[in-house]
Structure 1
Amino acid sequence: MVVIGGGLVGLTTALELCRHGVDVLLVEKHAVTSPQPKARRFGFRSMEVFRSLGLAGTVRDAARDLAGHDRFAAGETLATSELQPMWGGAPIEPSPELVGPEPPSLVAQDVLEPVLAAAAADAGAEVHFGFAVTGVAPDAHGVTVETAEGPVRARYVVAADGARSPVREALGVTRSGPGAVGAPAVNVYFRADLAPLVADRPFNLCTVAGGAFASVDGRHRWVFMTSAGRQDWPAVLRSAIGAPVPDLEVLSVLDWCPEVRVADRFRVGRVLLAGDAAHVMPPWAAAGANTGIADAHNLGWKLAAVLRGEASDALLDSYDAERRPTAAFVADQSVRRSSARGVPDQEMAHPFVLSAESIAYPEGAFVRDDDREEPVTAFAPTGRAGVRVPHRWLDDARTTSTLDLAGPGWATDVDGGERVLLRPDGVVAWRGADPDGPERHRRELLAARALPGGSRDRRGCRDGDP
């Protein structure tokens, strides 16, 4: 199994595959992990994925510099800014402790990626940086991955090679979406000891006249986000800071433009797209990174089941059926939240729905057995099939969650007299009273009969079955 791309999503994919016992070769064209902070906020669902990999504590240790930096600040300059009330001063329900077993975490991408790379190598993945892929050629039996060092043969390939994905382009996969959804912007990554200036107001983001500051480590490393254009960046930064900063050093300047583009196919034969290769969206709350990590969680167990001969190759069609509409939904919500200016939006999802990715799959590897609807504008998970199982603690010590039941295998739980079949990724696959239902439906889903699914349950028969 080959994973192309050594960023957050490629590394998480490799970890997921290793967890399921798959031999993995990961190749990344760059010599090192990302030197840019980029994504920094990892939500409930991403932390649940890291928890399932045994890495939640390791990630939190890497995030220690930004512990407590979850507030927002605003002012004319950084020096005159003030912390703002959480959630805009309005109460938010439910309490975050009820959403998931792992709270969100702030950790810069350039800090997290080396942690994941080391963990992948420790888990048994063969990880190669500075290893360029020059082409991929899928056929009926596998994929030939062309590299400067020679061809590599794999049964399947996951392309997590970024927004400009050469693999996606080579396969001719088109993308849909509005494209640019905002003006060109720039991230100015700089170093300066600002801790004395902001010691009394630790923040995640601070909006000022002309831009916004993001904390990278809460003391020396920062990003200033503003409109694009060549400027005297040290002068711009000192003006926005509003105080003398003798040690300021600009480390890099990264131009970007907020856009929405979702691949029209997430699967081309034996090649599957994940992360930015499959979807790009505005960076609100690191939406793209979190969605990509969930891609890896969804795909890992399916690939492993197929490679072990436990599942039909058609099971992989459910990856596109589930993840493509989810990416489109999250991208739309990211645009709404990035452009919100206090104007009510009746279609804006509850922030916990997005952070926990408590979003119903319209179809896929599950059996829809009732008409209950999963709310979007409020976080009130129903436990219906095709959605992440709602979190609840199963012991008084609060060490085991319902989300811990599944993975790396399937699991069965009981909820109010109903049996609940959980997939290895913690998504509800079926629920009902039939005592033989869990095993029967597990076999049917692995066989991928009539997938993508989501059809009504007629005591185990899918639409169109005799």
Structure 2
Amino acid sequence: MSGQRTQVLVAGGGLVGLTTALVLRHHDVEVTLLERRASTSPQPKARRFHVRTMEIFRELGLAGLVHEAARELAGHDHMAAGRTLAEATQLPLWQPSGDVPEVSPEPPCLVAQDVLEPVLRKAAVEAGADVRFGTELLGFDQDSDGVTGKLADGEIRADYLVAADGARSGIRESLGITRSGRGAVGEPSVNVYFRADLAEVVRGREFNLCQIDHPDASGALASVDGRRRWVFMAAGGETERDWPTVLRTALGVPVPDLEILSVLGWQAEMLVADRYSAGRVHLVGDAAHVMPPFAASGANTGIADAHNLGWKLAAVLRGEAAPTLLDSYDTERRPAGWFAADQSARRADTFRVGTEDPTLAHPFVLAAGGFQYPAGALVPDGSVEPVTEFAPAGRVGTRVPHRWLDEARTRSTLDLAGPEWTVTEYEGEWLLLRPDQVVAWRGASAEEAESVRAALLAGTLP
């Protein structure tokens, strides 16, 4: 099949690739997504989605669907700990100290990746994306006018290619993009994905994660659906252990219906691509950054990548912005990716030794996308967003703080922007909000905001 054409080609149909397609369709961009696998992920993988991700799904009109898909884990926000699961106690929920403003119009969400991906895939198809599972991108060439993707049955021509093809990204490697960071963090681990009806065992002590400290079966037990599906995470990387015996020891109950579904060895890593863009190709998600799971930031950071890149591609493709606007994707998201990966690696350190690090970012800074872009498609004004406390104030380079706009608490300041720009007054100053709800400028008049927007799109600001 030769002569195929699309505006944006997305390689990879996981959480981030599907979100990229959804964001692009939200901006009326023609998009084709290719995924070599025949179906969405069979593994639960990512499970915790921060409020910032839920705000993005809110803008896309999907927050309700995602919360509905997550209903099995509703109320499973606690941590637990004990010698075995049977002996474990539920720990109190972490609560911020001091007077912290309401964080978001959307609560965070616990939903397994293998449950969420089909929801996003269906939504992408319904939004008009050309979604092709079982179709592999075999290679590509790019020139000054676009990208030509090579398929088994021909070629497809696109203006841009988005690489959402995972941590071992063949696209990143073919571009010669290197990665920097700590590399391996901690020792190798094993994830044992299993099925067992433990609903009665955990009733009244529901949890997201339970730390097991039995000397013969130490590890962490993650709840996938709160009843029958679980993941046991053990240190050491030894995949050939007698896992039924280990699991029954860790659980502290006979579990006659125990069924092991998979045993996967893995190594936590902290690596960030040294470039997020090369010509007309842009990296998102694990192709751009990998990080330990202890801050639950990997998938969330990738979804934020898609949100940032999508409106910029749309503006350029519509002719509203100069192609140089796309340079701001690397300028903004690479420092953000490094921040999330570094925070995750440092949390892995404290998780292993059991001590706290007072220099770590406030949890709400991570959850609400509180990283401040130092430069990019914005007008820096010297303001600095704190990291170790959560104190959003509408500073340039940050996501606009959430405030309810009506007594019924249905409209938030975050609803003002996306997919369009907007100008709003906030605490005596005018803010220019980008389509991704980031403050691009603040000043004294709404009229000036419009001239700043035009200059940012045209790339004419100093």
Q: Same fold (TM over 0.5)?
A: yes
Secondary structure at 1:253's aligned position in 2? strand
CA contact (8 A) 1:373 1:382 kept: no
After superposition, the C-alpha distances for 1:157-212 in whole angstroms (9 at most, x for unaligned) are: 10000000011011111001110011110110000000010111000000002101
Distance in 1 (alpha carbons) for counterparts of 2:364 and 2:96: 13
Aligned residue for 1:92?
97
Q: Does 2:395 match 1:384?
A: yes
Q: Could you tell which deviates more after superposition, 336-345 or 270-279?
A: 336-345
Distance in 1 (alpha carbons) for counterparts of 2:423 and 2:445: 12
Secondary structure at 1:295's aligned position in 2? helix
Distance in 1 (alpha carbons) for counterparts of 2:205 and 2:184: 34
Per the TM alignment, residue 434 of structure 1 is displaced from its structure 2 partner at its CA by 3.1
CA contact (8 A) 1:93 1:379 kept: no
Per the TM alignment, residue 436 of structure 1 is displaced from its structure 2 partner at its CA by 1.9
From 112, 121, 124, give the equivalent of 2:125.
121
Secondary structure at 1:98's aligned position in 2? coil
Per the TM alignment, residue 91 of structure 1 is displaced from its structure 2 partner at its CA by 4.5
Aligned residue for 2:224?
216
Distance in 1 (alpha carbons) for counterparts of 2:180 and 2:395: 29
Q: Does 2:447 match 1:443?
A: no
Structure 1, gaps ≥5 residues long: 451-461
Distance in 2 (alpha carbons) for counterparts of 1:10 and 1:342: 35
AA paired with 2:334? R
Q: Percent identity?
A: 64
Secondary structure at 2:154's aligned position in 1? coil
- The 5 Å alignment of 1:149-168 reads 149-168=153-172
- The 5 Å alignment of 1:41-440 reads 41-87=48-94, 91-94=96-99, 98-209=102-213, 210-227=218-235, 228-229=237-238, 230-340=240-350, 341-369=353-381, 371-440=382-451
Structure 2, gaps ≥5 residues long: 1-7
After superposition, the C-alpha distances for 1:358-417 in whole angstroms (9 at most, x for unaligned) are: 110111100113x32101000001211111001100111111100000011000100133
Aligned residue for 2:3?
none
Matched residue count? 447
Q: Does 2:25 match 1:18?
A: yes
Per the TM alignment, residue 24 of structure 1 is displaced from its structure 2 partner at its CA by 0.7
Q: Could you tell which deviates more after superposition, 201-210 or 343-352?
A: 343-352
CA contact (8 A) 2:295 2:347 kept: no
AA paired with 2:69? A
AA paired with 1:82? T
Normalised by the size of structure 1, how large is the TM-score? 0.94
CA contact (8 A) 1:260 1:281 kept: yes
* 4+ residue segments displaced more than 6 Å: none
After superposition, the C-alpha distances for 1:40-88 in whole angstroms (9 at most, x for unaligned) are: 000010000000000000000000000000000000001100011222x
Distance in 2 (alpha carbons) for counterparts of 1:344 and 1:41: 22
In structure 2, the CA distance between the partners of 1:94 and 1:66, relative to structure 1 (3 Å rule), is: farther
AA paired with 1:92? S
Secondary structure at 2:297's aligned position in 1? helix
Secondary structure at 1:429's aligned position in 2? strand
Distance in 2 (alpha carbons) for counterparts of 1:261 and 1:396: 45
Per the TM alignment, residue 288 of structure 1 is displaced from its structure 2 partner at its CA by 0.6
AA paired with 2:223? S
CA contact (8 A) 2:374 2:380 kept: no
Per the TM alignment, residue 150 of structure 1 is displaced from its structure 2 partner at its CA by 1.1
After superposition, the C-alpha distances for 1:299-342 in whole angstroms (9 at most, x for unaligned) are: 11000000111101110000000000011011111112222144
Distance in 2 (alpha carbons) for counterparts of 1:285 and 1:118: 28
CA contact (8 A) 2:9 2:31 kept: yes
Distance in 2 (alpha carbons) for counterparts of 1:94 and 1:127: 46
Aligned residue for 2:5?
none
Secondary structure at 1:391's aligned position in 2? coil
CA contact (8 A) 1:34 1:109 kept: yes
Normalised by the size of structure 2, how large is the TM-score? 0.95
Secondary structure at 1:403's aligned position in 2? helix
Q: What's the Cα RMSD here?
A: 1.1
Distance in 1 (alpha carbons) for counterparts of 2:427 and 2:342: 35
Distance in 1 (alpha carbons) for counterparts of 2:211 and 2:151: 45
AA paired with 1:352? F
Q: Could you tell which deviates more after superposition, 281-290 or 40-49?
A: 281-290
